[in-house]
Structure 1
């Protein structure tokens, strides 16, 4: 088995591609060792003591290093942990259930106005078809959180969370796209 590594726009995060499916559906973001209790793989990565974030995508794992950590020393450890996990075909989550799978984005919203249902459907479709694939390419994900008074609320995850360019991505990239296709959108904000 060979694990490819890609850089991301976030210098603290690397994207690891094991050449096979990681998550059967959805994504999962672990921002702390406590959150990683449901996943032996995420826990093993945090146990290095040099990892501050783990993100599972459909076919990749993004790992965020603590400030000041040298990737040249951490990368071989991460690759070894990933190889052990995928070669042994260990379960991604404990208990064999879906306890670790992220809640679908539509269940995380902030209470959209039913009168905005058509606008929200357009926004979600654009996020799903145009934005999420691009963000996944950078080792992250984006979650729809709500639409109120012309403002779309989104949450960045994985390599995109805490990335120096995430604000620019939200404001210049995603906001421009949504405003172009959905005139009712006036602004995009991080939630």
Structure 2
């Protein structure tokens, strides 16, 4: 498991924000999955090295998580995977290039002997997913859950009650010791965020 931090601009609803994104590489010495190809395909490809990229997995389709995906796919030959409910957001950034395959709730992706289960967790975006790797004790949450609480829901195609329900029903049922690797910022644990969630509105 490897973390690559890339920097760029998040754009939605006419606004722009400078952001640092966590790109996660999961696999072994010969093959990897890339989770969220953000901003800088060259930097991600350099981190991949001579390993084979089996897939570029999008936790959701906000531009800062997918803007480097087509270029990385072209460099590596890897397919881009996205939940179909997020095509409306994908098309805002890549109207001329569709994802290659759909992600679905409960789907299992296997890479380097590690299984990652797709959990559909709408709220931050309609097709947002998290990827749970029980063998590693890790869940990759994109922008659904952060150190400090739920992802933002103040912009188009997002909904606060939906994200809270997704976190409580899909993520807080995971073991408390599970590490939460996020789309931005530092990691946390399920237990930490659960303990601090009492004040969340439903």
Taking structure 2 as the reference length, the TM-score comes to 0.25
More helix by percentage: 1
More strand by percentage: 2
Highest CA radius of gyration, 1 or 2? 1
Taking structure 1 as the reference length, the TM-score comes to 0.26
